[in-house]
Amino acid sequence: MAIKIKTVKIPPVVGITGLPASGKSTALKVFAREGFGTFSADDAARRVFARRKTRVAVKKIFGTLARKEIAREIFLDGSRRRALEKIIHPAVIGELRGAILSARLSRRPFAAEVPLLFEKNLEKMFNTIVTVAAPRRILLARMAAKGIPRRTAAGMIRAHLPQARKSSRADIVVRNVGSLKDFRSSVVRTINTIQAEYNLRQLKNTSRVSLRGRSEATDEAISPKRTERLPRRPAGGSQ
């Protein structure tokens, strides 16, 4: 007699990315308000930077621990930026994997703000990727309003893939060019779309899952390193 194994429900695991000042952090707050567990790579980077071992390594490279001075250098000198990333990013990615695993074990929907998601080839950690987009002139204006010099702001943008490539590789693109209220409403619509598609998938899902946590239909391991993606939606579909 066949043994019936209850299908494991995998909640949405959403990656939020975009260029600097595009509105990623605001989008993440909306996901949190809608009940998602959340993770910020920038916040994780600050935690990692505060560790003694990290600070020693950073000071050897830059001769200072002043964040503004370091930021100015790394966005004007690509080699120094890459050196800092080698120190910070492995620990940040480790925290991200742990956060995803924790969300899955609790079966809670999860969203992570990861600015360099595509650049660091982290797509397989998510089953839906949302890119927040805005024109370059708007990004520069927002950074100028925060007191970031134009040259540094331009360097921050250059550290990323171009907006067009981020948008083409995302499942959903949310444009942030109007009011804060309009943008938040767009993010809520995006969340509703993601949840509706996952609810539909759960209803249609008849595959059996083995005790080892592998889908017999797809033979894909259920782990933070590999996640089944939603069907791609056209850019701007959630605006």
Average pLDDT over residues 70-93: 87
Tell me the per-residue pLDDT of 127-162, one tens digit each, with 9 for 90 and over. 999 999 999 999 999 999 999 989 989 999 999 999
| Sheet containing strand 172-175, strands side by side | 37-40, 110-113, 13-18, 128-133, 172-175
Give CA separation, 84 vs 48, 65, 67, 99, in Å: 12, 12, 12, 23
Average pLDDT over residues 1-28: 78
Tell me the per-residue pLDDT of 86-122, one tens digit each, with 9 for 90 and over. 999 999 999 999 999 999 999 999 999 999 999 999 9
Q: What is the reported pLDDT for 41?
A: 97
CA distance 128 to 14: 5
Report pTM: 0.80
CA distance 21 to 149: 14
Average pLDDT over residues 31-58: 95
Tell me the per-residue pLDDT of 168-224, one tens digit each, with 9 for 90 and over. 999 999 999 999 999 999 999 999 999 988 887 777 664 433 333 333 333 232 233
Residue 72 has pLDDT above 90, yes or no: no
Residue 51 has pLDDT above 60, yes or no: yes
Burial label, 126 (beta-carbon count in 10 A; 0-12, 13-18, 19+): buried
Q: Who has greater pLDDT, 206 or 19?
A: 19
The token duo for 192 is: 């509703």
